[in-house]
């Protein structure tokens, strides 16, 4: 179990350290990969010690998805069923695992009974009925490389590209355009001229975009909505562990930030999820990682806009893994997710 956890950790999450390339810390990538492998090795070993029998281990698999080292919950056994005929709902998944256990334990004709039970689960209806908002939405697919995003020499070009996408959507008579996380590489709340331009364009189309904000010298990862000449802002609630915050005691957090990130402080976060009202409809705001957390689906929102920047980790399986997770949560909470991802998979998920 130790080695199973080790290699699952590596092959499932080898991409986590890729973002270090953009901090001139590429030499740490092998150490990060090894560290993630060891974390899951220990988790699986602990899991094995707690579940010495096959029955207990089967129960453990059912609840393993609730294990989240450092708050990172992207390892879920249910994801292996997303592209199958089997539902990932907790009750169906639990029945699926227990029937496999019974198939192993039963002998003779009783094996056939458990096997028929497994096949019968394939006929449980999946949540695949589209529940689309009555708005004509454009979600551009963008592929801006991360090493260019924050280079000052590319700033004007990136802004003009975004404005061109907005004007193109206007010419197509779209009602809403959704741009990805940090689409504008700047503290947008300080860009007075750009804000005026976006507010003017919002008289013709609602604009939903990601960008940074700065308030009281605190940096926030934000979503901006421009509609009818007005601006609304919501901030990220759940920060990425070891990306936007160091989930360790203050002395360790300060040491890591000083050693590797030139003393930069963690991002600030909002206290609770925010709903934007767009064309009279409520859309739950989610920025990248937090769109894969149960807390963001509190109240079972009918619609969600999720914006991401997968360029930190490409090329890798990370965009595909995120897409599988979004599909998992969309089905779990019956929420339609409008996902705009730079370097990832942009689509409507239900």
- Positions annotated as catalytic residues are 181, 236, 288
Q: Which of 230, 206, 209 lies closest to 221, judged by CA?
A: 209
Q: Is the peptide bond before 337 cis (omega within 30 degrees of 0)?
A: no
Decide the pairing of beta strands 184-187 and 206-215: parallel
**Backbone phi, then psi, for 282, in 5-degree steps?**
-90, 130
CA 280 to each of CA 21, 119, 277: distance values in angstroms, whole numbers, following the listed order: 42, 44, 6
Residue-wise burial string across 217-253, b where 16 or more C-beta atoms lie within 10 A, e elsewhere: eebbbbbbbbbeeebebbbbbbbbbbebbbeeeeeee
Tally of CB atoms within 10 A around 117: 16
Q: Tally Cβ neighbours within 10 Å of residue 270.
A: 18
How many whole angstroms separate alpha carbon 111 and alpha carbon 113?
5
- The DSSP line for 68-105 is -GGG-----GGGGGTTSSS--SHHHHHHHHHHHHHHHH
d(CA 81, CA 138): 30
**Exposure of 197 by Cβ count < 10 A (0-12 exposed, 13-18 middle, 19+ buried)?**
middle
Cα–Cα distances in Å, from 240 out to 139, 268, 290? 24, 11, 8
Please, is 344 exposed, middle or buried when counting C-beta atoms within 10 Å of its C-beta (0-12, 13-18, 19+)? buried
236: β partners: none
């Amino acid at each position: 179990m130790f080695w199973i956890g080790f290699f699952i950790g590596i092959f499932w999450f080898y991409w986590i350290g890729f973002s270090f390339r953009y901090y001139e810390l590429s030499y740490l990538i092998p150490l990060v990969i090894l560290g993630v492998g060891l974390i899951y090795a220990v988790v699986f070993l602990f899991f094995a010690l707690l579940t010495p029998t096959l029955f207990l281990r089967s129960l453990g698999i059912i609840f393993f998805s609730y294990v989240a080292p450092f708050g990172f919950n992207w390892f879920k056994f249910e994801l292996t069923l997303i592209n199958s005929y089997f539902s990932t709902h907790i009750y169906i998944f639990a029945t699926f695992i227990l029937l496999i256990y019974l198939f192993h334990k039963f002998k003779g004709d009783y094996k056939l009974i458990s096997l028929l039970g497994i096949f019968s689960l394939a006929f449980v209806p999946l949540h695949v009925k589209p529940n689309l908002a009555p708005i004509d939405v454009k979600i551009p697919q963008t592929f801006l490389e991360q090493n260019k995003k924050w280079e000052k020499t590319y700033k004007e070009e990136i802004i003009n590209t975004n404005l061109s996408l907005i004007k193109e959507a206007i010419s197509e008579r779209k009602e809403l355009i959704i741009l990805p996380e940090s689409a504008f590489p700047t503290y947008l709340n300080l860009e007075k001229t750009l804000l005026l331009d976006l507010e003017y364009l919002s008289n013709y189309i609602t604009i939903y975009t990601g960008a940074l904000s700065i308030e009281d010298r605190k940096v926030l990862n934000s979503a901006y909505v421009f509609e009818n000449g007005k601006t609304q802002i919501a901030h990220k609630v759940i920060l990425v562990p070891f990306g936007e915050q160091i989930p360790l005691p203050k002395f360790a957090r300060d040491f890591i930030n000083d050693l590797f990130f030139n003393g930069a402080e963690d991002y600030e976060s909002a206290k609770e999820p925010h709903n934007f009202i767009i064309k009279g409809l409520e859309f739950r705001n989610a920025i990248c990682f937090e769109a894969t957390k149960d807390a963001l689906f509190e109240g079972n929102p009918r619609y969600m806009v999720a914006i991401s920047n997968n360029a930190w980790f490409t090329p890798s399986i990370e965009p595909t893994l995120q897409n599988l997770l979004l599909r998992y949560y969309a089905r779990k909470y019956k929420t339609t997710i409008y996902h705009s991802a730079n370097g990832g998979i942009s689509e409507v998920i239900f």
